[in-house]
Amino acid sequence: MRTWKYPLPVERRSIVHLPRGAELLSLGEQVQTPVVWALVDPQQPVEPVIFRMVTTGEEFNPVFCTYVGTLTLGGWYVVHYFTQAEGLPQDDALDSRARVVEDHQQYRAEDKIT
């Protein structure tokens, strides 16, 4: 097992490829970039992990989300990161479903590049 660092985009939803079974350890900032440290087995195949970023006071559906941590970027911009399972509850808004579809399309596009 190793501890690896992964940069996180400052976007509402993003996909980061982590080795299967990765354990998220900590969220922080390095050189004005959000990063997450994870305990990983580099021999495991990578899989997509959806990260949600929400701001303080922003309304969102926390179902299927797991809190990762909170950062203050630039000394004033407070964001909270969560991981999100691929499924959403049946009563969630249609635009949320569309964003998940976009996430999967982004993953497929990135997968073709590598």
Can you list the positions of beta strands (E) in 23-99? 23-30, 33-40, 46-55, 65-73, 77-84
Q: What percent of the chain has pLDDT over 70?
A: 75
90 pLDDT band (50/70/90 cuts)?
very low
Q: pLDDT tens across 6-27, in order?
A: 999 999 999 999 999 999 999 9
The total domain count for the chain is: 1
- Is residue 80 over pLDDT 60? yes
Q: What is the mean pLDDT of residues 33-61?
A: 95
Q: Check residue 44 and give its pLDDT.
A: 97
Domain that holds residue 72: 2-113
Residues 6+ apart with CB under 8 A from 26: 36, 37, 69
Predicted model pTM: 0.74
109 pLDDT band (50/70/90 cuts)?
low
Tokens 């179902």 belong to 63
- Is residue 49 over pLDDT 80? yes
85 pLDDT band (50/70/90 cuts)?
confident
87 pLDDT band (50/70/90 cuts)?
low
- Is residue 72 over pLDDT 70? yes
